[in-house]
């Protein structure tokens, strides 16, 4: 026999052995993960599978079940940001985003605190009604905070999760009156001119 045939036969034998061991067929050597010192067959048969062998053990969810657990309202008309004479605070988030969920209570507290001076918009990026605004402000990575001035112009974007103090500082910066440009006095007239 050639060396190549020996290797192929060895690999096939290993594959058959592993297939028998993983299938749990009778007579196959299945690993026992019971506590040390337990030797009875009944204990071994009822043992919990090893997490390394069964990496995906646990409840199985389907997309339908996930969609049913997280209903998303989809209004018929696209969401619009209307000029109201106040600046706008826009928070792009999604229900499946853990960073967005961690940041949302701070955003809601700030909304209560600044609601008379700033318009707040909390937009779900998964909603069809918000699709145009997601593209307009390039909210492809979330959470994304967008600050608009009273005229609706973009003045600042904050990507990623921010704490309440950072968001409050951004709102205070948005509400601050614009700095006046420093006017330098004209140079004194030259005697020679």
> What pLDDT is attached to residue 135?
92
Question: Which stretches of the chain score pLDDT less than 70?
Answer: 1, 3, 5-7, 10-77, 178-193
pLDDT at 179: 64
Alpha carbon separation from 81 to 111, 119, 157 (Å, rounded)? 16, 9, 16
The DSSP secondary structure of 48-63, one letter per residue, reads PPPTTTSTT-S----H
The pLDDT score that the predictor gives to residue 84 is: 87
pLDDT score at 157? 93
Q: Would you report the helix, strand and coil content of the chain in percent, each value rounded to 5?
A: 35, 10, 50
**Domain at 88-175, CATH class:** alpha beta
**Those residues with Cβ within 8 angstroms of residue 176's Cβ, 6 or more apart along the chain or in another chain:** none
The confidence score (pLDDT) of residue 39 equals: 47
Q: What pLDDT score was predicted for residue 79? A: 82
């Amino acid at each position: 026999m050639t060396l190549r045939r020996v290797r192929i036969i060895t690999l096939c034998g290993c594959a058959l052995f592993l297939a028998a061991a993983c299938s749990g067929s009778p007579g196959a050597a299945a690993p026992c993960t019971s506590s040390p010192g337990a030797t009875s067959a009944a204990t071994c048969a009822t043992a919990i599978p090893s997490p390394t062998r069964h990496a995906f053990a646990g409840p199985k969810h389907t997309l339908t079940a996930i969609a049913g657990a997280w209903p998303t309202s989809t209004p018929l008309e696209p969401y619009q940001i209307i000029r109201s004479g106040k600046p706008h605070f826009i928070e792009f988030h999604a229900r499946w985003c853990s960073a967005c969920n961690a940041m949302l209570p701070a955003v809601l507290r700030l909304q209560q605190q600044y609601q008379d001076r700033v318009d707040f918009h909390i937009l779900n990026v998964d909603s069809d009604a918000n699709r145009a605004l997601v593209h307009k402000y390039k909210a492809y990575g979330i959470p994304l905070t967008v600050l608009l001035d009273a005229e609706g112009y973009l003045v600042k974007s904050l990507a990623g999760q921010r704490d309440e103090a950072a968001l409050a500082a951004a709102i205070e910066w948005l509400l601050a009156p614009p700095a006046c440009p420093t006017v330098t006095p004209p140079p004194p007239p030259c005697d020679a001119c």
